[in-house]
Amino acid sequence: MRRRMLSGSSEDEVRRLAEEVASRTLPLETAADLDPLMERIGEARYVLLGEASHGTSEYYTWRARLSERLIREKGFSFVAVEGDWPDCYRVNRYVKGRPQSGESAEQVLHAFDRWPTWMWANREIVQFTEWLRNWNADTLEEAKVGFFGLDVYSLWDSLQVVKQYLEETDPDAAAAAQRAFRCFEPYGEDAQDYGWATILNAGSCEAAVVKLLCELREKALEYAGLDRRAGQNGRAREAFFDAEQNALVAKNAERYYRTMVRGGAASWNVRDHHMFETLERLMELHGPEARAIVWEHNTHIGDARATDMAASGMVNIGQLARERHDGEAALVGFGSHRGSVIAGSSWGAPMQAMRVPEAEAGSWEDVFHRAGAENQLLLFPPGNSGATLPEAFYETRGHRAIGVVYEPAHERFGNYVPTVLPRRYDAFLFIDETRALDPLHLRVRPEHEVPETFPSGV
């Protein structure tokens, strides 16, 4: 007997929708099967690729396959991910073959040591990073494809980068970075302690980080002049961009941690606005012909207006991309029916491979599984095409979202986002059965096998 429906649909309604889905999906087995998606992407300048978890191998490998094709065939400029700027900038230096940038991708990625380390310190990303370095090896400096982080968490690491840049470039200006450091020093790099302190009227460091960013930007022309005299041009321009971006991260991270402890949608919106601002800055850095690939969770890249996030006052990078760049953004979601995943049982807990149970009855993942127990690609009609799908496609259904914290036994109550799928994405990749990714800091068993001793009740 099937479980009670997650949606309000009857068994017959779900079955009929699955038949409609089956009549429209395309097979997804090899990179060549991405041809229809490449055509659907067309001349889009922003291609946002999602994932339904932060610990699934197939989401990473399919995004890599698509990204490689976008870079080779459409000349995309960079990959921007849901990762910290300083860590990802080290990867950027490695893939561009910069001096002293690391001996191997595995060495560089192993340095990702902030929980959840597995998101980028994994062997799937090692393989993509080495591909990117090889691609760049025979490419002119200005055409090398970069790898950047969009996230806002790296407050202390970013302050350290700005301090070091100013000490080397303009020691007289380094005092601003020192003041910001001293302001945060009492909190011992504990973001929650800092956030609660601001609620308890212990003051904030907002003024210090805002002043740091302003002073850095006021001297931008002077630093650019120094760069030109040094004859470094593009590399030095990117070095200044790196320092400026870290100052921006510090400013927005301070605000994020100050709002996070208050709860609600405010901190989420600070984070996604920061990620979108960073994306726009990267596009400007790469010039008017720039094209961007973004790797983030579905909850960030899928249009928030097609989910219950909108009712909570939340926006995300997918919504902002569509609003600001109508017709130039392609949003690609991912999902699966069952498998395994790397996650933690609580925030900061050790990573472990967990079983992902079969999707809840009536969910989008259940519909796709009924449409055929195989990997599938579904393209949705462009919003300006006038084409529509049967009405059942526009019903709200649960769409699974697994974060870095996961409790499989209770996922029905917190891991499904009510979603109108064709309005949330432009395309959807469905992987029927997935495997946990392979973290650098944890050896998963061969073939990503999950031993029987892993959590039960899933």
Q: Which domain covers residue 347, as residue numbers?
A: 11-76+291-448
Residues 403, 295 within the same domain: yes
Q: 108, 176 in Cβ contact below 8 A?
A: no
**What Cα–Cα distance (Å) separates residue 275 from each residue in 223, 269, 338?**
25, 10, 30
Strand partners, 439: 122
Is residue 102 assigned to a domain?
no
Query: How does the average pLDDT of the chain come out, rounded?
Result: 90
Percent of the chain with pLDDT over 90: 74
DSSP 129-140: HHHHHHHHHTS-
Q: How many domains does the chain have?
A: 2
Average pLDDT over residues 372-401: 89
Q: What pLDDT is stored for residue 458 in this prediction?
A: 30
Is residue 371 assigned to a domain?
yes
Is residue 171 assigned to a domain?
yes
- Which of 266, 281, 300 finishes a domain? 266
CATH code, domain with 324: 3.40.1660.10
Residues 166, 312 within the same domain: no
Q: What pLDDT is stored for residue 452 in this prediction?
A: 33
Give the SS3 label for residue 287: coil
Q: What pLDDT is stored for residue 386 in this prediction?
A: 59
Q: What pLDDT is stored for residue 5 in this prediction?
A: 60
At 325, the pLDDT band (50, 70, 90 cuts) reads very high
Residues 262, 301 within the same domain: no
Residues 228, 329 within the same domain: no
What CA–CA distance (Å, rounded) separates 117 from 85?
A: 14
Q: What pLDDT is stored for residue 96 in this prediction?
A: 97
Is a pLDDT exceeding 70 seen at residue 169? yes
Is a pLDDT exceeding 50 seen at residue 457? no
- Which of 266, 299, 333 finishes a domain? 266
Residues 362, 437 within the same domain: yes
88, two tokens: 């990802």
**What Cα–Cα distance (Å) separates residue 151 from each residue in 252, 347, 352, 378?**
10, 18, 24, 29
Residues 339, 441 within the same domain: yes
Residues 332, 432 within the same domain: yes
Residues 166, 26 within the same domain: no
Average pLDDT over residues 282-291: 96
Residues 262, 297 within the same domain: no
At 231, the pLDDT band (50, 70, 90 cuts) reads very low
Average pLDDT over residues 396-401: 97
Q: Cα angle at 95 between 147 and 152, to 5 degrees?
A: 30
Is residue 39 assigned to a domain?
yes
Helices and strands, number each (H, E), in the chain: 17, 11
Q: Say how far residue 386 (Cα) sits from the centre of its chain.
A: 31
Residues 57, 186 within the same domain: no
Q: What pLDDT is stored for residue 191 in this prediction?
A: 85
What CA–CA distance (Å, rounded) separates 278 from 148?
A: 9
Residues 322, 444 within the same domain: yes
Find the range with the poorest average confidence among 48-52, 218-222, 443-447.
443-447
What CA–CA distance (Å, rounded) separates 83 from 278?
A: 12
Is residue 444 assigned to a domain?
yes
Average pLDDT over residues 315-324: 98
Is a pLDDT exceeding 60 seen at residue 229? no
Is residue 453 assigned to a domain?
no
pLDDT, tens digit, 9 for 90 and up, residues 11-32: 999 999 999 999 999 999 999 9
Residues 170, 261 within the same domain: yes
pTM: 0.92
- Which of 232, 266, 300 finishes a domain? 266
Is residue 201 assigned to a domain?
yes
Is residue 272 assigned to a domain?
no
Q: 161, 111 in Cβ contact below 8 A?
A: no
